[in-house]
Amino acid sequence: MPTIYAIAAYLRARVRNDDGVTAVEYGLLVSLLAVAFVAGVSLFGSQITSAVGALVAKF
């Protein structure tokens, strides 16, 4: 019978293991940040270029 208990303990550990879920959540967070970055650069790209150009011109 110890083998059945060992198998049950192994299965319980696999069910409770949520490392994969955490990795998926981090992946979604990184992809959301990437989309926000691309959207920000698309919206404000010319303004950022003008501001950097003005800053460089002062030096």
Q: What CA–CA distance (Å, rounded) separates 11 from 19? A: 15
Above pLDDT 90, what percent of the chain?
36
pLDDT of 2 reads: 67
**CA-angle at 16, arms to 12 and 18, nearest 5°:** 150
Residue for token pair 């404000």: 44
pLDDT of 7 reads: 82
Mean pLDDT over residues 1-24, rounded? 75
Name the token pair of 16: 């409770």
DSSP label at residue 1:
-
Residue ranges per domain, the chain? Answer: 19-59
Mean pLDDT over residues 31-58, rounded? 92
pLDDT of 8 reads: 82
Average pLDDT value for the chain: 84
